Amino acid sequence: MDVKTGFFYLFSVVLLYAAFRVITARNPVHAVLHLILAFTQASGLWLLLEAEFLAIVLALVYLGAVMVLFMFVVMMLDIRIDTIRQGFWRHFPLAALIGAVVAFEMAAVLMAGFRGMDDPKALATMVDAAGQVIPYSNTQALGRLMYTQYLYPVEIAAVILLVAMIAAIALTLRKRKDSKAIDASDAVRVRAEERFELVSMKATQRAEAPQQEAAAAEEKKA
């Protein structure tokens, strides 16, 4: 077994462990941290496949932006674990069945798609229509495909990410019942006479006062 195969098994084992902990961790923050670990291992697998651009994009976009956003949202939301886990085992058989079907479909597609394929090779040059050898750029080729042939899917993905960002901001800025924050605008507009109010009240005498006076008088006589 060479070094590349060893790294492949290492990244794969850590990736499977992190993915398993994402769905089994009791703390949402721990689940997000394991998801970050899973993305890093997937980025390493992309590097082994000589897809450096996809590996860097996965690390920068998901780890640098999306997962940080998830982390702040999870830490800011008032998530109650006891209410979330109610009815977990009741729906577990259906969830396990759906997961098994998805795993079987993915395995069938991957096994059928990878049969008879050669090892990926990075192209440093390419030949144009005139027969001239020109430098080949993987990033340039992906950019042309994304913004020409796959322009509408890219725009749809951008809109979905924008909606997700707005939803995350709306969730974190919602008015919580246990918040004791004071509105700064109300504090600035308040006037001096509104800060306190004098109320005229009649003098009252406590019911136990006569009894206390009688007890004190008896003590003096004694």
Q: Is residue 140 part of a domain?
A: yes
Same domain, 40 and 144: no
Report CA 93 to chain centroid distance, whole Å: 26
156 & 102 share domain: no
With a cut of 90, say whether residue 168 has pLDDT above it. no
Given pLDDT bands bounded at 50, 70 and 90, which one contains residue 17? very high
Q: Can you tell me which residue has the tokens 């949202």?
A: 73
Read off the pLDDT of each residue in 3-24 and give the average, rounded to a whole number. 90
Counting the structural domains of the chain, the total is 2
Reported as a pLDDT band with limits 50, 70 and 90, residue 78 is low
Kindly state whether residues 136 and 151 are assigned to the same domain: yes
- Which range has the worst mean pLDDT, 25-29, 87-91, 121-125? 121-125
Domain final residue pick, 172, 191, 212 = 172
| pLDDT, average across residues 8-22 | 92
Question: Token match 């796959």: residue?
Answer: 150
**Residue range(s) defining the domain that contains residue 57:** 1-81+95-121
Residues 159 and 117 in one domain: no
**25, 116: one domain:** yes
Q: What are the DSSP calls for 169-184, one per residue?
A: HHHHTS--TT-----H
Please report, rounded to a whole number, the percentage of residues in the chain having pLDDT higher than 90.
Answer: 9
- Interval 181-206 mean pLDDT: 73
Q: Residue 2: pLDDT above 70?
A: yes
Across 38-52, 142-156, 198-212, least confident range: 198-212
Q: What's the whole-number mean pLDDT along residues 185-198?
A: 74
Whether pLDDT at 14 is above 90: yes
116 and 127 both lie in a single domain: no
35 and 142 assigned to the same domain: no
User: pLDDT class for 26, splitting at 50, 70, 90?
Assistant: confident
17-31, 57-71, 111-125: which has the minimum mean pLDDT?
111-125
Provide, rounded to the nearest whole percent, the portion of the chain with pLDDT above 70. 66
Q: Kindly report the backbone phi and psi dihedral angles of residue 58, in degrees, each rounded to the nearest multiple of 5, phi listed first.
A: -60, -40
- Assign 18 a pLDDT band (cuts: 50, 70, 90): very high
- Torsion sign over Cα 60, 63, 69, 72: negative
| Contact present, 44 and 11 (Cβ < 8 Å) | yes
Q: Which pLDDT score, from 0 to 100, does residue 20 have? A: 92
Assess whether 53 and 155 both reside in one domain. no
Residue 190 in domain: no
